[in-house]
Structure 1
Amino acid sequence: MQTKKDPITVDAFHYDRVSPDVEPQQNIQVSLVTISEEDPYLQEADLSAGNIYQIVTPFQVAPEKSGFAVSGQISQVVQLLDFFSEPNEIDQKDMIKLSRPLIEYIETLTYQVTAVALNRGVQLQFTAQANED
């Protein structure tokens, strides 16, 4: 699937020191949101090339026995070239490819923040899991 992508945006990122005994959590959601026709972004866009969506990725992660938790939201506007269907018609493999750069941003931000906050960078490695219908 061919795309035109805007830069990834960090809408929110929050780091907390927590007890190492806090229950581990890995909650990362990925959704494709249709941009409203009233959005000023669409005024300059060439919609004849394909639909434009925003990939929104809210997350809450507390790695096991790590002593920290991170949460926030990462997003990116993408145009799916020659795609004029509904977001739910996008193949699961294509969704994984579209969202992977955002997931990598979460991994990178977490590593960089923990390198400063804990004096050691913590490398997270998330893998996509297909939804079972």
Structure 2
Amino acid sequence: MQTKKDPITVDAFHYDRVSPDVEPQQNIQVSLVTISEEDPYLQEADLSAGNIYQIVTPFQVAPEKSGFAVSGQISQVVQLLDFFGEPSEINQKDMMKLSRPLIEYIETLTYQVTAVALNRGVQLQFTAQANED
């Protein structure tokens, strides 16, 4: 699937020190949101090339025995070239490809913040899991 992508945006990123005994958590959601027709962004876009969506990725992560938790939301506007369908029509493999750069951004931000906050960078490595419908 060919795309035209805007830069990734960090909508929110929050770091907390927590007890090393806190319950581990890995909650990362990925959704493709249709941009409202009134959005000024669409006024300058070439919609004849394909639909434009925003990939929204809220997350809450507390690695096991790490002593920290991170949460927030990362997003990116993408145009799916020559695609005029609904988000639900995009297959799981393409969704994983579209969302992977955002997931890597979460991994990178977490590494950089923990390198400063804990004097050691913590490398997260998320792997995608298909929804079971």
Query: Per-residue CA shift, 1:70-90, capped at 9, x if unaligned?
Result: 000000000000000000000
Deviation of 1:61 after TM superposition, in Å, equals 0.1
Deviation of 1:106 after TM superposition, in Å, equals 0.2
Query: Per-residue CA shift, 1:103-127, capped at 9, x if unaligned?
Result: 0000000000000000000000000
Equivalent residue for 2:90?
A: 90
Deviation of 1:6 after TM superposition, in Å, equals 0.1
Q: TM-score, normalised by structure 2?
A: 1.00
* CA distance in 2: counterparts of 1:132 and 1:109, whole angstroms: 29
**Which ranges in structure 2 are unaligned for 5 or more consecutive residues?**
none
Deviation of 1:41 after TM superposition, in Å, equals 0.1
Q: TM-score, normalised by structure 1?
A: 1.00
* CA distance in 1: counterparts of 2:86 and 2:3, whole angstroms: 16
Deviation of 1:52 after TM superposition, in Å, equals 0.1
Matches within 5 A, 1:10-89: 10-89=10-89
Other structure's SS at 1:94 match: helix
- Confirm or deny that 1:108 pairs with 2:108: yes
What is the number of residues matched between the two proteins?
Answer: 133
Deviation of 1:64 after TM superposition, in Å, equals 0.1
* C-alpha RMSD over aligned residues: 0.2
Deviation of 1:23 after TM superposition, in Å, equals 0.2
* CA distance in 2: counterparts of 1:91 and 1:67, whole angstroms: 37
Query: Per-residue CA shift, 1:26-56, capped at 9, x if unaligned?
Result: 0000000000000000000000000000000
* CA distance in 2: counterparts of 1:14 and 1:58, whole angstroms: 11
Deviation of 1:3 after TM superposition, in Å, equals 0.1
Other structure's SS at 1:111 match: helix
The percent of aligned pairs where both chains have the same amino acid is 97
Other structure's SS at 2:21 match: coil
Deviation of 1:7 after TM superposition, in Å, equals 0.1
* CA distance in 2: counterparts of 1:20 and 1:132, whole angstroms: 32
